[in-house]
Amino acid sequence: MPARDQSIAAQKPLRVGLCGMGTVGSQVVALFRRNQTLIDNRAGRHVQLTHIASRRTNQKIDGVIIEPDIFAIASNPEIDVCIELIGECTTAFTLLKKAIHHGKHIVTANKALLYAHGDTLFSTCEQKGVSLLYEAAVASAIPIVNILCTSFAANRITRIRGILNGTSNYILSAMSAGKRFDDALTHAKAMGFAEADPSLDIDGLDALHKITLLARLAFGHIAQLPPPTHAESIRSIEAADIACAQEMGYRIKPLASASYDAQGVSLHTYPVLLPTDHPLAHVNDELNIIQVDADGAGSSWYSGYGAGGAPTASAVISDVITLAKERAPLTQSAHFQTKLPLIAETQNNYYVRTTHTPAADKKIATIFNAVGGHKMIGTKTYSVWRLNNIKDLSQIFRNISTHVSCQPVCLRMMD
């Protein structure tokens, strides 16, 4: 264990109150216990976890006051930083507004809260002269917020994309290894990679929250939050799709994507077929990966644990150390004047799988020819088609659905 730097005792300690002692909160406590001296040395002063708000009043942690009322942390003048890890929106929003009002810096891992109320919280922080840091909210141990704010500060960023949801990646990886969707989901829950209600994860909304936070940092204020229709689920994917993709040299991955051009910002999350040699196709199981395209730096990739108690706690305490060093920006909101419009995707290539009958195939081929042609990839139990440069698949989808007994599966394809 490293010895404590002599000069640290002379500095005013940073006093930290933790709200929420669940998966992440308990790991924050564990990391403080394990690395306190190292944390203090790197912070240049003692970073002291003084209070924990917990409804479990029987908890005892040496040197820490257990506070049953979460809002008491927000107003306590003995606390400098409020860490919010309670994990829902309504109470967390009220809690943080109160803490900011009382002059506390904020560290949070709550992406759903920042997605819905980020603008209000950031502007309230600016008015009060306090910081709101949220590295843990986007990709846990992958320090993407810091990379965008510091390492890429001189760049114009044009695109960010990647795998931002470990649950979906774990399920699709398990399906690639032969598991059915339901079995893969059950296994993900048993391993702690999926919540009891996994909808936010597997329907793409969690990744949409995260990519929206990154887009705000990289491109600027977005006039409108992306609607839930900008998130597509992985629920429709079956073993047949995984097998077809593998046969064609592709892997199916849950992609989150944000791009920026003169028209505005495009934000989407959906499962996509990626060629097996694509840099984003190699990251499996619960791991995340993020690609940043920037005008100076070019393309770069960052991968690691995007969730889990310990990786998320690591990011939380790193933000607290930044505050202790008094090097934090007032907010990590985007400092841009104009509000960028949200725009639809331009065009995509699609993989379409339909039930195979000669009569249905003939009708579907006619529909596809009318929108610019197709390539038939395979006809076994299913017919598999490739469509290029399609702007809006919804009308085509409705037309072909009338000719087949089961719903077609449509997925974007990238080369």
Residues that bind ligand NAP (CB under 6 A): 20-25, 53-56, 70, 85-87, 91, 109-111, 136, 140, 307-308, 312
Instruction: Decide whether 26 or 259 has the Cβ nearer to ligand NAP.
Output: 26
Q: Name the active-site residue from 104, 111, 210, 253.
A: 210
Residue 57 to residues 19, 60, 65, Cα–Cα distance (Å): 13, 8, 11
Going by C-beta distance under 8 Å and a sequence separation of 6 or more, which residues neighbour residue 277? Answer: none
Q: Which two tokens stand for residue 391?
A: 């702007």
For residue 57, the minimal CB distance to ligand NAP (Å) is: 10
Q: Rounded to the nearest 10 degrees, what angle do helices 358-370 and 394-401 cross at?
A: 160
**CA count, 13 A, side-chain hemisphere, 409:** 24
Pick the closer one to ligand NAP by CB: 94 or 389.
94
Distance of closest approach, residue 142 Cβ to ligand NAP, in angstroms: 11
Please report how close the Cβ of residue 56 comes to ligand NAP at its closest, in angstroms.
6
**Closest CB to ligand NAP among residues 202, 364:** 202
Query: Which tokens hold the place of 192?
Result: 């702690």
Q: Which is nearer to ligand NAP, 141 or 242 (CB)?
A: 141
Catalytic annotation present for 189: no
Distance in Å, CB of 28 to ligand NAP, minimum: 9
Spacing of C-alpha 387 from chain mean position: 29
Nearest CB to ligand NAP, comparing residues 271 and 308: 308
CA-based Rg of the chain, rounded to a whole angstrom? 24
- Return d(Cα 99, Cα 73) in angstroms, integer: 8
| CB-CB neighbours of 15 under 10 Å | 18
Q: How far apart are CA 237 and CA 356, in angstroms?
A: 17
Q: Quick one: 85 or 96, whose CB is closer to ligand NAP?
A: 85
User: What's the half-sphere exposure (Cβ side, CA atoms, 13 Å) at 373?
Assistant: 3
Question: What is the distance between the alpha carbons of residues 244 and 91, in angstroms, rounded to a whole number?
Answer: 46
Q: What's the min distance (Å) between Cβ of 160 and ligand NAP?
A: 18
Least spacing, CB of residue 21 vs ligand NAP, in Å: 5
DSSP 181-219: HHHHHHHHHHTTSS-SS-HHHHTTHHHHHHHHHHHHHHH
Say if residue 98 is exposed, middle or buried (CB neighbours under 10 Å; 0-12, 13-18, 19+): middle
> What are the residue numbers of the active site?
210
